[in-house]
């Protein structure tokens, strides 16, 4: 059996961090098992779906490195849904209902007032052919419900949550099609999973009850259902569900300078028993991915943790991986010199400015004589060797200075800053002429 997973976003907005995590885990499982990862655009809601979001979803997945093996669009599959619908209707698995939204709301309120669960009472099943004809003659068009079987519990072994059991009698027959003929999520998704040969569905735990309903749809269509993995939802660093996570997506990450490798490294392990590590390559993340490692506690997303992983990822990136994003003229030596001080790659431009200049040297009056001597020594050094250690050794001997009193005035004069990359790596890049100029009070 070839494992097939799918990521099925609705193009009503851009991907947020929860969507990204779902896509990543489907991708990881497909890659680990040698299977396929498919993108399915769930665009049945024509009123809310926009092509600009379809393009954005593809672009975001590409940026994240989550290449898919194929793509389907629900808007191109209506004929399939119609055929399945008619078969299910003829078999009695689907029935028309005529209540308005207001009438259904009133029924729920009455049930709540009696201390009963808000379950649809199946009143539509009691209608005769004449009743239905009369309603339709009045211009009332039906919506359509899937009829749940109550004869046996709905059960499955979830790859994350373990054994699951639902009683269909405690659940409303789900509406699968609106009165205007448009589709809701439930039935088209099940039809597509069958038609696409999907073997594993990885999604959030908020879909657990949907899965119970869809399992009966798979059975009604005579199909073996996929295996399901329902993962705990993401929460913010404060430990609560956060609206902010619903808007935090690829665009926000890119604006912050977050690398896709950092996002993958964090979200691959978030919610598992494995430590989050700055793993830049996908291979180790794929190899270690295992649903058995996921817990049922909410997975906590922390911006500070992502930033820390991002910094460590950047410190591991080779020049060839970033060359096209560096300032013109910045080479391997410059990258390797400044890389340990970066938190985002964009900061490399700041240090390139320090190397190339001009720099506003910071010189205290008390250090003027010391720096005058430093300029003289720097002009006479052999710059082909190790100018920084040669310079500091000569100045230590001539001035008696050591530690901060020796190094800080030199760094401030040469870079205009109190902190930064290792001066032994930076000074040769600054060069003799610029160094002498900056050291001269």
User: What residues form the annotated binding site for ATP?
Assistant: 243
Residue pair 234/299 in contact by the 8 Å Cβ criterion? yes
Residue pair 351/420 in contact by the 8 Å Cβ criterion? yes
Q: For 51, phi and psi rounded to 5 degrees?
A: -65, -30
* CA 219 – CA 312 distance, rounded (Å): 49
Contacts 24+ apart (CB under 8 A), 289-292: 289/25, 289/28, 289/29, 289/32, 291/29, 291/159, 291/160, 291/229, 292/159
Question: In DSSP terms, which residues pair with 203 in a beta bridge?
Answer: 230
Rg of the chain over all Cα atoms, to the nearest angstrom: 32
Q: For 134, phi and psi rounded to 5 degrees?
A: -65, -40
Question: In DSSP terms, which residues pair with 299 in a beta bridge?
Answer: 234
Residue ranges of the annotated binding site are 243
């Amino acid at each position: 059996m070839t494992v097939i997973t799918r990521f099925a976003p609705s193009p009503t907005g851009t991907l947020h961090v929860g969507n990204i995590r779902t896509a990543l885990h489907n991708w990881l499982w497909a890659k680990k098992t040698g299977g396929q990862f498919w993108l399915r655009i769930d665009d049945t809601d024509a009123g809310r779906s926009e092509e600009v979001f379809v393009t954005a979803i593809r672009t975001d997945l590409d940026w994240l490195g989550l290449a898919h093996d194929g793509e389907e669009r629900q808007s191109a599959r209506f004929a399939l849904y119609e055929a399945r619908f008619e078969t299910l209707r003829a078999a009695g698995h689907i029935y028309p209902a005529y209540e308005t939204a207001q009438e259904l709301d009133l029924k729920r309120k009455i049930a709540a007032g009696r201390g009963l669960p808000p379950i649809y009472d199946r009143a539509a099943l009691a209608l005769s052919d004449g009743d239905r004809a009369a309603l339709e003659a009045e211009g009332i068009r039906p919506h359509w419900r899937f009829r749940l079987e109550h004869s046996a519990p709905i059960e499955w072994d979830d790859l994350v949550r373990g054994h699951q059991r639902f009683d269909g009698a405690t659940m409303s027959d789900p509406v699968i099609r609106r009165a205007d003929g448009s589709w809701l999520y439930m039935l088209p998704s099940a039809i597509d999973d069958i038609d696409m040969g999907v073997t594993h569905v990885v999604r959030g735990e908020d879909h657990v009850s949907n899965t119970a309903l869809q399992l009966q749809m798979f059975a009604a269509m005579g199909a073996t259902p996929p295996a399901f993995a329902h993962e705990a939802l993401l929460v913010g660093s404060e430990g609560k569900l956060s609206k902010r996570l619903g808007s935090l997506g690829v665009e926000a990450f890119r604006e912050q300078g977050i690398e896709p490798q950092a996002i993958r490294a964090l979200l691959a392990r978030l919610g598992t028993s494995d430590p989050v590590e700055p793993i830049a390559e996908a291979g180790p993340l794929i190899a270690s991915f295992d649903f058995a490692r996921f817990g049922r506690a909410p997975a906590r997303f922390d911006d500070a943790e992502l930033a820390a992983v991002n910094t460590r990822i950047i410190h591991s990136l080779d020049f060839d991986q970033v060359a096209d994003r560096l300032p013109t003229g910045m080479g391997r030596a410059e990258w390797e010199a400044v890389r340990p001080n970066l938190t985002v790659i964009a900061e490399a431009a700041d240090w390139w400015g320090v190397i190339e200049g001009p720099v506003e040297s910071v010189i205290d009056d008390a250090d003027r004589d010391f720096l005058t001597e430093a300029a003289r020594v720097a002009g006479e050094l052999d710059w082909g060797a190790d100018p920084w250690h040669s310079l500091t050794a000569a100045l230590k001997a001539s001035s008696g200075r050591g530690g901060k009193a020796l190094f800080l005035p030199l760094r401030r004069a040469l870079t205009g800053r109190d902190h930064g990359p290792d001066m032994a790596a930076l000074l040769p890049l600054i060069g003799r002429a610029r160094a002498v100029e900056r050291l001269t009070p």
